[in-house]
Amino acid sequence: MGKFSIDESIKEEEKRLYEEYKRKLLELKKVKKENEAVGQVFTKGLLPIYVLYVLSLGATNGNDISHKIGERTKGRWIPSTGGIYPILKKLEKEKMVVGNWDDSKKKIQKIYTITELGAEELEKRKELLKGKIEEALEVFKIVYRDLYE
């Protein structure tokens, strides 16, 4: 009888631990999803337009774009080059930027230049996003005041 109750209590403990594990895993997935959602506001919404903006200041490569964004935001937002290059590729496919190798034989680094179409698109997107960015700033201010003041 004693062995049976020990086996039973071990099974109950295993079940309890497994349920706790599943609950914690769900919490972690939720936090990860929320972080990704916040990150996507920047990467999907703001990064492409900001890449065009940086290129409107002068031709440069993807790595430099990341550094320039970091400098302009005082280090608060430094997008990875792994996020910049797919955007450049997409913008190039859409004829908004042109990429040329700095050395056509060695193909060390591609220098991107904004096209006339890209400059027009930048202005359009700026107008479209202006209200959304202002709205987001207001929401952040309210949330900040509620949580910290």
Burial 70-108 (b: 16+ CB within 10 A, else e): eeeeeeeeebeeebbbebbeebbeeebbbbeeeeeeeee
Give tens-digit pLDDT for 111-147. 999 999 999 999 998 888 888 888 888 888 999 999 9
pTM, 2 dp: 0.66
The pLDDT of residue 39 is: 47
The answer on pLDDT for 11 being more than 70 is: yes
Which residue has 């080059």 as its token pair?
A: 81
Distance between CA atoms of residues 16 and 138, nearest Å? 44
| Length of the chain measured in residues | 149
| pLDDT top residue among 21 and 115 | 115
Rounded to an integer, the average pLDDT of 13-35 is 78
**Could you state, in order of their start, the residue ranges of all structural domains in the chain?**
2-148
CA distance 137 to 121: 23
Taking CA 36 as the corner, what is the angle to CA 33 and CA 39, rounded to the nearest 5 degrees? 155
Architecture of the domain delimited by 2-148: Orthogonal Bundle (1.10)
Residue-wise pLDDT for 94-108, tens only, equals: 999 999 988 766 768
Mean pLDDT across 25-54: 71
pLDDT, tens only, 55-85: 999 999 999 999 999 999 999 888 888 889 9
Beta strands, E only, the chain: 97-101, 110-114
Mean pLDDT of the chain: 85
